[in-house]
Structure formats: structure tokens, C-alpha cells
Copies of this chain bind each other. A is one copy, B any other.
Amino acid sequence: MPVLDFWFDFASSYSYPAAMRADALCKAAGVAIRYRPFLLGPIFKAQGWDTSPFNIYEAKGRYMWRDLERICADLGIPFKRPSPFPQNSLLAARVAVAGSHESWHDEFCRAVFTAQFGEARRIDDPAVIGEILKAVGAPQRPTFDLAGSDAVKLKLRTQTEEAGRLGIFGAPSFTPEDGELFWGNDRLEAAIAWAKKASG
């Protein structure tokens, strides 16, 4: 079965609708999806940005929130603008990496997006992340312990470096097995089609 890597930062706004759409679309196309959380911070820093470009460029930011609101309405998923934006996604990313081989991993990732962009909750709050872990049936204490380990920190750093090597400069991004790069929620369908074509 062809595999499509889904690269996201938990703080990325357009990664929310992508995460809500990707599984069903991939399943229908016979493509396996692999969630690859990474950190946009170091990648933005290399471009000279110390925050989201949606904050740096005001008109673009205003547009993004309106566009996201329309997209969520079309998909029938909740939308509530979080504050602050972007949120610190380090804790969520480390917890996800800690659970990367667990059956609850993908559901945890989607629940983090819904909490943040559907309910405007803070994902840098360990209590919120703990609640989500509980809701998806994951053990809280051992997962938090593992999330704080050097092994997980290193794995997240390695994953972020791999994103950079693939040419990724924003999120969400999608890479089929041949390394072709697709950027943006609106390129998800094209990425899935490419993954199918490239493998067959």
C-alpha cells in the first residue's frame, strides 16, 4: 500500500482541517497515512521569522482566519480562534512522539487540533494535554515521563531536521515515498493522487 507522510506542527492553523480530512481521503484512495509532527519554529527561524508569518503580515493574517473559518464551516467542524496564536506546540509534539507507536497516537493528534482550533483551548497546558490523553485511552503519567526523555527530544529534533531536508517550509505538508513535496491543506488531494501514481 502506498504511504503518504503528513507533516504538521500542532500550532499550524491549516493543519487542523488537514488533520480532520486526511484519514478518510487516504482510506478511500487506498493510501496509508503516516502522521509526522515536527516543529516549525526552527524552520521559520531559518527564514528570519520569530513568529508566524500570519502575525508578521497583518493582511495575510486577517485573511487566514477568515479563510479558515470558511473552510471549517464547509467541512462542518467547529472553529474557535485560539489566543495566543501561535501556541507553543512543544509539549504536544513531544507527547505525540512519545506515543508514535501507540494505537492512540493519531486520535491524540486530531484531538489536540480540535481542542486548539475548535475550542480555543491552550495546548501548552499540561492539564489540557493530560485530559486529551485520558480521553483517547492513553496512560498519562508514563506518557508524560517518556515525553520528557532525551530519546523523545532527540527524535523530535531528528524529525524536524528531516522535514527541513525534504524542503518543507510550512505546514501542513505531504510527502509521498518518492519525496515529492506538497504544501497546504488544499494540496492534500493532489498529494494522495501522487502517492497512488508513484507507487503503481
- B residues less than 8 Å from A183 (CB atoms): 63, 67
- B residues less than 8 Å from A190 (CB atoms): 70
* Bound complex: CA A59 to CA B181 (Å): 11
Q: In angstroms, how far is the closest chain B Cβ from the Cβ of A194?
A: 8
Contact B169 A60 (CB under 8 A): yes
- Residue from A57, A59, A60 with most neighbouring chain B CB atoms (10 Å): A59
Contact B186 A63 (CB under 8 A): no
Contact A62 B167 (CB under 8 A): yes
Q: In angstroms, how far is the closest chain B Cβ from the Cβ of A46?
A: 9
A66 within 8 A of partner (CB): yes
A170 within 8 A of partner (CB): yes
Contact B47 A57 (CB under 8 A): yes
Give the oligomeric copy count: 2
- B residues less than 8 Å from A182 (CB atoms): 67
Tell whether A169 pairs with B47 under 8 Å between CB atoms, given A70-B190, A190-B70: no
Of residues 31 through 64 on chain A, the ones whose CB sits less than 8 Å from some CB of chain B are: 47, 57, 59-60, 62-63
- B residues less than 8 Å from A167 (CB atoms): 59, 62-63
Of residues 149 through 187 on chain A, the ones whose CB sits less than 8 Å from some CB of chain B are: 167-170, 181-184, 186-187
Return the chain B residue nearest A60 by Cβ: B169
* Bound complex: CA A187 to CA B67 (Å): 10
Contact A169 B63 (CB under 8 A): yes
- Contact for A63 among B57, B67, B70, B181, CB less than 8 A: B181
Return the chain B residue nearest A74 by Cβ: B190
Of residues 84 through 99 on chain A, the ones whose CB sits less than 8 Å from some CB of chain B are: none
Contact A169 B57 (CB under 8 A): yes
Return the chain B residue nearest A57 by Cβ: B47
* Bound complex: CA A16 to CA B60 (Å): 21
